[in-house]
Structure 1
Amino acid sequence: MNVSTNSVKRFFNTKCYLAKQIPRNLKGKSKSSQEWLMRQLADPYVEKAKMMNLRCRSAFKLIEIDDRFKVLKPGDTVVDCGAAPGSWTQVAVDRTNANRAKESNNTGTVFSIDLLHFHAVPVSNDD
Structure 2
Amino acid sequence: MAHIANRSRFRVTVKNKPDLTQHFSFSKVAAVEAYMKELRAQGYKPRAEQLDESWLVRIRERGHKPLEATFESEAAATQFIEKTSEERKRGLFIDCWRRLNLDSVCRSNIDRGRIASVG
Q: Normalization by structure 2: what TM-score?
A: 0.26
Q: Larger relative CO (CA 8 A, sep 6+): 1 or 2?
A: 2
Bigger Rg over Cα: 2
